[in-house]
Structure 1
Amino acid sequence: MFTGIIESLGTIKRMDAVSGDVRLTIESDSLDFCDIKLGDSIATNGICLTVVDFGQNWYAVDVSRETLARTAMQNWSIGDTVNLEKAMLPTTRFGGHIVSGHVDDVGTITLMKKDARSIYIELQVPDSLKYYTATKGSITTDGISLTTNLVKDNIVCLNIIPHTAQRTNIDRHWYVGALVNIEVDVVARYLERLLLGNKDSLSPQASITEAFLAENGFMR
């Protein structure tokens, strides 16, 4: 479990093909390695990955085909900067929101512009995720806990303050057309499950739609 508050930045040092999937090696001079051990979870650009090897300032993780297919990792290259967050402790100050590190899909940045000292961003999420977003809700983007200022159909509007831009990989790797990892608020996932009941077991395509909400009295 994570909070979406980025601890440090890392650099992808190796990407090795291993029997059909990938082993990544990430190096960081700012991440605290003193309490890292084998089997620990580290969110890497929002993806919960398990440490399988580590050294003084690096760790290695194995990445499955499922993760490669569902995330923006397929576009990563050696030398890229990634956002890092170690799994939270029970004593951790909860500064963001509940983040599982299970990426739902990939979004595309469609607009970036200056807004006073902040950066205004419009992020297009897949149609399958748009009903999980809400104005003034939370969304995890490349592991960063962000507040959605406004939602327009499948466009999520965000404002990035200077501190966030400087402490994450936004300044280096976000641009119009860039693909980013998206994790929706876990509360929205469970709410859908409660509303659908057994319908998802009858049809793998079942989802919350405007018609479903109207049929069940949630819209007029």
Structure 2
Amino acid sequence: MFTGIVEELGKIQRISRGSTKQSICFSCGKVLEDIHVGDSIAVNGVCLTVVDHKKDYFIADVMNETFARSGLGSLSIGSLVNLERAMPAKGRFGGHIVSGHIDGTGKIKSIRQDGNAVWFEIAADEKLLEGIVEKGSVAIDGISLTVAAVGSYSFKVSIIPHTLKETVLGFRGIGDIVNLENDVIGKYVKKFVEQSENKGLSRELLLANGF
């Protein structure tokens, strides 16, 4: 589990894509403190497993499915990425519950300065937008953010200077692809309600029982 609080910016050092093995090597520093083979690191919000590491880099295997379903496939050598280690049991919960299993990708539609903040509008498909609510939480490239507005085809977030400086959002432009993960609690509630309705239970009965 992650919290969406980015620990550092890493850089893609090498991408290996063969017929039987695919991996990415990330240069970094802070996230390698007390890291071991088999540990999880979120890369732009995608949970990857460390298969090898040295003092200034780690390597993670990446499946075709991950390249196809996330923004990792659009990155290249030298690309900057958000990095976060899995949250330890004694860690501080600074963001929100982030699983590292993204729901899909979005595209940056507009970027607008507003005083010391910057508004990002992210276009996404209808299925993703169904799980995004105003003032709720969303992870964009693994960054825990509060949704400021939701429309029919996009949603907006307002970014403070610190987040722009410490994450890849400061280097993003219009048209760039970002990974999106909806709030996990909302996803479970939505699934439960849908399954219950399919079994013939009414919304009124669910509400009467505290759901």
Give me the TM-score of the superposition, normalised by structure 2: 0.91
Residue in structure 2 matched with residue 110 of structure 1 by the alignment: 109
Q: Which residue of 2 aligns with 1:208?
A: none
Looking at structure 1, the residues matched to 116 and 33 of structure 2 have their Cα atoms a distance apart, in angstroms, of 36
Deviation (angstroms), 1:198: 6.7
Contact 1:27 1:58 in 2 (8 A): yes
Q: Which runs of 5+ in 2 are unaligned?
A: 207-211
- Tell me the distance in 1 between the aligned counterparts of 2:123 and 2:83: 23
Amino acid at match of 2:51: V
Asked if residue 68 in structure 1 is aligned to residue 62 in structure 2, the reply is no
> In structure 1, what is the Cα distance between the partners aligned to 2:158 and 2:11?
25
Aligned counterparts of 2:191 and 2:43: Cα–Cα separation in 1: 27
**TM-score computed with the length of structure 1 as normaliser:** 0.87
CA root-mean-square deviation: 1.8
Q: Which amino acid aligns with 1:182?
A: L
Identity among equivalent positions (%) equals 39
In the aligned structure 2, how far is the partner of 1:97 from the partner of 1:105?
18
Q: Does the residue aligned with 2:102 lie in a helix, a strand or coil? A: coil
Residue-by-residue CA offset, 1:102-150 (whole Å, 9 max, x unaligned) = 0110101101010101111111111111110000000000010000011
Aligned amino acid, residue 27 of structure 2: E
The 1-side partners of 2:133 and 2:21 are apart by 35
- Number of equivalences: 203
Change (3 A) 1:104 1:21: farther
State the alpha-carbon separation in 1 of the partners of residues 9 and 197 from structure 2: 42
Distance 1:113 1:22 in 2: 37
Which stretch shifts more, 187-196 or 106-115?
187-196
Distance 1:179 1:102 in 2: 16
Where in structure 2 are the equivalents of 1:188-207 lying within 5 Å?
188-197=186-195
Residues 10-25 of structure 1 mapped to structure 2, 5 A cutoff = 10-20=10-20, 22-25=22-25
